[in-house]
Amino acid sequence: MPLTNAEKQRRYRERLKQDPEKFENYRKKNLERIKSKYKYKKVSELNDREKSEVRRKWREQKRQKKTENNTIETVTPTKDPEMTIEWKMWETVQHTYKKKTANDKNISMLTKKTTKTNKTGTVQLLIDALEADIPKFKTHVFNFLHQNDEYKNCKEHLDENEAAIHCDFSENYVCKMGTEVQSMHFGASKIQVTLHTGVIYCKETKQSFCTISPSNIHQPEAIWAHLIPILEVTKTLIPNLKKLYIFSDGPSSQYKQKKNFYLIKYYAVLYNIDISWSFFESGHGKGVADAIGGVVKRALDREVSYGKDIQNASDVYSSLEQTVPSVKCIYISENEIDAVCKLIPTSLKAVPGTMSIHEVIAMKSNDKLIYHRPLTCFCNGFICNCFDMKTHQFETVFTEKPTDPSTSANTDLSCCDDLFPVTDLLLDENVALYEEIECVSIDENFNSQVIDMEQHIEDNVATKVTVVNEEIDSVLTNENINNQVIDIEHNAEPNATTEITVCNEDIESIKENINSQVLGTVPRF
């Protein structure tokens, strides 16, 4: 194999080093060659090309020096503190505008807006304004860095029974069609769809999600209507979920307000988990949730470019189910938002210092306390004395474990006297009719059983289930009635008949264990 040029040069130098006299002559010639190449020459000694290059460098240096001098003269304040100067400053000022009422009367409305204003004053006044903003800026930077560090630390050190959720409302998606007439561009012709996106982090896995709703409400009742199915997904990933960390930005109209704080406590008690909700520093809330929003919107726009019409939230949901299988998509109806809205008391008091809060903690204990502090800390689990933790007490007392109206309900059971000879169910005050039921499914895989089931039922119609079995050992019924749990176990005779009537609004589950088989309703309608 022939030698490369580099290998030839290396062997040549090795031979020179064996003869010191030749090697020294080689070094001297090399140094002379380098000196002659980089020798400083006068302009008169240069050729035309070299002269042009040198003059170009001189012009560039002169231009840079002039720009630097002008910057120093115009930006650097004078040493005289009483000299009058002008500067620009961002300010939030009050703004008055006219609004026409239904009676065609013009009334004056007062609002606030942020504008860039021209200021005139002394140099000392500008210096004082700058020095007054420095402590706020330093606090802002510290909060931003601290919240990001706690967020990363939480994701990297999750236990097997812990999960973290990073969520945010994406900008509403404007429905589009493959081809549109000109009038579609104006007015309220285009429907907007709410997208609530985020990622569920577990110790071993993670799952991105996007909940879709036709309602454009972004307030706490909508937040938790979007989060309830995500909590169900989280509990399927971690059945023994004990602690949940939620991260989001902190707009006062959405996440960081008294109604959301109340619902955090409500669902901590409902799901029997400890919840910590942390808020990123203002202006630094962008994250993976916004990336999920970009993915789903790009997928929807791609479908529109192929000629598909996306006209409402149902079209958005069906399209994302097919095009983005890696993102868990869930449809949220307006009725689910209304159901959560009914849970919020009308007399809630604001939490003092809400705007400075960066973490809210709600324990699963059945009390009316939440904990909050200006910075997030996970040094000792949830509760620690870092950063001046405070408590807030709601007036509404959780006397019993709250029930979720969207997934659970009271139950009325009418059973055969022969099958239940001892137990007498008194449900006079615990009966309510279903308002909206799509269907009830049943596991029909029983041994020698006959099942009569009304599969599709109308509004406010009761459902009867009749089970006839030759070999029934026991029937175990679990009922949730007005936040109370009743377990009834009965010994049944062979060939016994069980008749169950369901006519309630908030049923959570009815399960009967018959010969190791399960008869039950779908837990979510």
Domain range for residue 336?
158-180+187-393
Mark out the alpha helices in 359-406 (DSSP H runs): none
DSSP per-residue letters across 92-133: EEEEEEEEE-TTS-EEEEEEEEEEEEEEEEEHHHHHHHHHHH
State the pLDDT at residue 102: 76
Question: What six digits make up the tokens of 307?
Answer: 């000629």
Q: What string of H, E and C letters represents the secondary structure of 229-293?
A: HHHHHHHHHCCCCCEEEEEECCCCCCCCCHHHHHHHHHHHHHHCCEEEEEECCCCCCCCHHHHHH
389 and 454 co-located in one domain: no
On whether residue 89 sits in a domain, the answer given is yes
State the pLDDT at residue 77: 58
354 and 375 co-located in one domain: yes
Task: Give the C-alpha separation, 186 to 174, whole Å.
Answer: 13
On whether residue 61 sits in a domain, the answer given is no
On whether residue 335 sits in a domain, the answer given is yes
Helix H or strand E encompassing 146: helix 123-156
Domain boundary among 393, 422, 443: 393
Question: What six digits make up the tokens of 126?
Answer: 């500008």
Question: What six digits make up the tokens of 45?
Answer: 């000694």
275 and 421 co-located in one domain: no
Question: What six digits make up the tokens of 377?
Answer: 């800390």
Question: What six digits make up the tokens of 77?
Answer: 């304040």
334-341 and 220-237 helices cross at what angle (nearest 10)?
100
On whether residue 58 sits in a domain, the answer given is no
Length, in residues, of the chain: 525
Q: How many CB atoms lie within 10 A of CB 277?
A: 26
pTM for the structure as a whole:
0.61
- Map tokens 């001046």 to a residue: 388
Helix H or strand E encompassing 449: strand 449-453
Question: What six digits make up the tokens of 65?
Answer: 């020096």
User: Is residue 316 within 8 Å of residue 218, measured between CB atoms?
Assistant: no
User: Which mean pLDDT values do the consecutive 10-residue runs of the chain (525 residues) have?
Assistant: 85 86 86 72 82 90 86 64 86 86 83 90 89 93 94 92 94 89 77 94 93 93 95 93 93 91 92 93 90 94 91 93 93 93 89 92 86 90 85 71 46 32 32 32 35 35 39 37 34 43 39 35 33
On whether residue 326 sits in a domain, the answer given is yes
* Closest among 503, 511, 518, 436 to 464, alpha carbons compared: 503
* Closest among 236, 176, 258 to 523, alpha carbons compared: 236
Please give the tally of structural domains in the chain: 4
Query: Beta 369-373 vs 106-122: how paired, if at all?
Result: unpaired
379 and 465 co-located in one domain: no
172 and 210 co-located in one domain: yes
